């Protein structure tokens, strides 16, 4: 049995139930979940693409030039270490410590802690240092997503995850980074859109994907091929 990560499940739910389904064909897509980390699921040629080691499509661990921050994976400079919720919270804390009289500094004094959402809310309220961190994070995410479209040729990137709720400024920065990175000749066609009901899609996707895997195994057994083989 294959235990899928949430992003693969959500990607598959989008493949099977999302608006792209109506366009028919194979409907390739990249699904990105922005939460404490940055997860992603890739559907290529009508299949969840896991690659040789099961780590395929993990855009959260793409290297971002100019960042040396330590990532949870052990590498430095990953996108997740720049723009994941955990990373934003730790940057907010560093900023608050460095400048206790700033808005984040005063917020930390009142609350005792800071979250990524605190930083995003302060950015939405116009706090310049928070805006700078948010925009840098959003542009980095958008840039990596645009590069992923160039590399893979997927026509659609779907964004989900708690970090995007009530953070239109972050979404704008992601869109800007995406537009700047996508090849000019496909810029008008490459889609970047919000997921709808992503939290349910994980569960629905898990079910649909389990069905798909079971079908693949039955087919593979019938043909003497390894289960789930491409």
Q: Which is nearer to Zn ion, 38 or 190 (CB)?
A: 38
Three-state SS annotation for 102-126: CHHHHHHHHHCCCCHHHHHHHHHCC
Q: Which is nearer to Zn ion, 8 or 62 (CB)?
A: 62
Least distance in angstroms from the C-beta of 155 to Zn ion: 27
C-beta of residue 181 within 8 angstroms of C-beta of residue 150: yes
Least distance in angstroms from the C-beta of 90 to Zn ion: 14
Bridge partners of 160?
33
Least distance in angstroms from the C-beta of 227 to Zn ion: 30
> In this structure, what token pair is assigned to residue 97?
């410590």
> In this structure, what token pair is assigned to residue 210?
């389990």
Q: Which residues bind Zn ion (CB under 5 A)?
A: 61, 71, 73, 75, 78
d(CA 166, CA 126): 14
Q: Which is nearer to Zn ion, 71 or 141 (CB)?
A: 71
CA angle 33, 30, 39 (to 5 degrees): 30
d(CA 189, CA 90): 36
Least distance in angstroms from the C-beta of 80 to Zn ion: 5
Q: Which is nearer to Zn ion, 18 or 161 (CB)?
A: 161
| CA torsion through residues 90, 91, 94, 96, sign | negative
Q: Which is nearer to Zn ion, 77 or 169 (CB)?
A: 77
Least distance in angstroms from the C-beta of 60 to Zn ion: 7
């Amino acid at each position: 049995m294959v235990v899928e990560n949430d992003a693969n499940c959500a990607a598959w739910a989008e493949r099977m139930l999302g608006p792209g389904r109506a366009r028919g064909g194979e409907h390739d897509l990249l699904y990105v979940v922005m939460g404490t980390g940055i997860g992603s699921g890739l559907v290529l040629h009508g299949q969840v693409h896991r690659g040789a080691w099961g780590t395929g499509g993990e855009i959260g661990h793409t290297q971002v030039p100019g960042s040396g921050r330590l990532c949870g994976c052990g590498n430095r400079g990953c996108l997740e270490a720049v723009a994941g919720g955990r990373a934003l919270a730790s940057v907010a804390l560093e900023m608050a410590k460095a400048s206790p009289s700033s808005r984040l500094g005063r917020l930390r004094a009142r609350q005792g802690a800071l979250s990524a959402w605190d930083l995003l809310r302060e950015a939405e309220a116009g706090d310049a240092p928070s805006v700078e961190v948010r925009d840098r994070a959003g542009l980095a995410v958008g840039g990596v997503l645009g590069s992923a479209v160039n590399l893979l040729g997927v026509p659609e990137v779907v964004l989900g995850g708690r970090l995007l709720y009530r953070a239109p400024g972050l979404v704008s920065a992601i869109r800007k980074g995406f537009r700047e990175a996508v090849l000019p000749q496909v810029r008008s066609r490459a889609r970047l859109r919000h997921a709808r009901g992503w939290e349910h899609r994980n569960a629905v996707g898990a079910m649909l994907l389990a069905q798909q895997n079971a079908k693949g195994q039955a087919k593979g057994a019938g043909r003497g091929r390894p289960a789930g083989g491409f």
